[in-house]
Amino acid sequence: MHHLRDRGHSHSVPSEITSRAAYEGRRDWLKLVAGGAAGTALASWASRDALAQTARPGKLAPLPGARSPVSGAATMERLTPYQDASTYNNFYEFGTDKDDPAKTAQRLKTRPWTVAVEGEVRKPGTFDIEALLKLAPMEERIYRMRCVEGWSMVIPWVGWSLAELIRRVEPTGNAKFVQFVTLADPAQMPGLRSSVLKWPYVEALRMDEAMHPLTLLTFGMYGEILPNQNGAPVRLVVPWKYGFKSGKSLVAIRFLEKQPKTSWELAGPEEYGFYSNVNPTVDHPRWSQATERRIGEDGLFAKKRATLMFNGYEAQVGQLYAGMDLRRFF
């Protein structure tokens, strides 16, 4: 979710502890997959109340997740229809119009796929996507998502807290920031011919932001694997920030000592800051951020709703920015 030239601690807490039911449910699912169980059996398993929080659209392979115990991981707001969430996208590697990614991303090959973990860590390495899928129990997180352009969605994501991976690779004391790098392959991504951004697309978080339990390493949505246009096979989701902070189709995660420049900072530093927290009191230079339009509600004539501070996650993440001037650090 980003715009063309016009847009833009490690201590565990109870909310981070995976429930036994979630762990056992994920283990059962892996057994079914490994054993080549019939699709009917898998569909039956996915319908369990504890795991099927969202009705599957039946478009892609199932990827169920247990109800997340993380505070703030589920909103009671109406979900955005899958059709809207999978066809109204910002993924400039596949084109700059909202319907471009759904049309052109189907050429993306998501297997084989690896993610390199590099930089200030004691255990660097390269993770195969299948290994990442098994690294931690899958959870469903129903998050509000807010685009800097002024539209929003409510999406049920499937994945696990990025902190699970971070703890395993053991960052050194020098690791202060985490950078995320998106695939840049001209053969598969026609949008790379555009000069709107410098490729590859890169984003980054401060270490405490990356470690926050709401920050999700994401492999699916609506109970299924990610569609290509939504960032398959693995992406980031940071629900209290504008959508362009949530990098898609990740191929590298780097731990750095110094704050890196992100793609939209480089493209328009006066418009897109490093933090990019959803903030109704800090407008984009060319439009207000005080209201938003929820996609899937009454079309273009939907009544705008008030934008929530930190996209409604202030209780969970506000302490990360205590004492900061949010107009300066936008």
Distance (Å, whole) CA 286 – CA 17: 42
Please identify which residue in the block is written with the tokens 């008030």. 306
* Tokens of residue 288, six digits: 């207000």
First to last CA, the chain: 17
d(CA 263, CA 130): 28
Helix (H) or strand (E) holding 181: strand 177-182
Q: Tell me how far apart the alpha carbons of residues 7 and 267 are, in angstroms, rounded to a whole number.
A: 10
User: Mean pLDDT over residues 91-100, rounded?
Assistant: 97
Supply 169's token pair: 């690779």
- Band of pLDDT at residue 297, cut at 50, 70 and 90: confident
Higher pLDDT, 55 or 194: 194
CB count in 10 Å sphere of residue 195: 7
Fold of 14-321: Sulfite Oxidase; Chain A, domain 2 (3.90.420)
Place of tokens 């590859």: 200
pLDDT digits 0-9 by tens, 315-326: 999 999 999 999
For the cut 90, the answer to whether the pLDDT of residue 88 exceeds it is: yes
Residue range 29-46: average pLDDT? 37
pLDDT in tens, 4-34: 333 333 333 333 333 333 333 344 434 433 4
pLDDT tens per residue across span 239-292 = 999 999 999 999 999 999 999 999 999 999 999 999 999 999 999 999 999 999
Alpha carbons 56 and 68: distance in angstroms, whole number: 18
User: How much is the CA Rg of the chain, to the nearest whole Å?
Assistant: 19
Cβ atoms of 287 and 241 closer than 8 Å: no
Rounded mean pLDDT of 190-196? 95
DSSP code of 40?
H
Is-contact 194 92, C-beta < 8 A? yes
Give the domain ranges of the chain: 14-321
Return the axis-axis angle of helices 39-46 and 20-34, rounded to nearest 10°.
Answer: 170
**Residue carrying structure tokens 């690896």:** 114
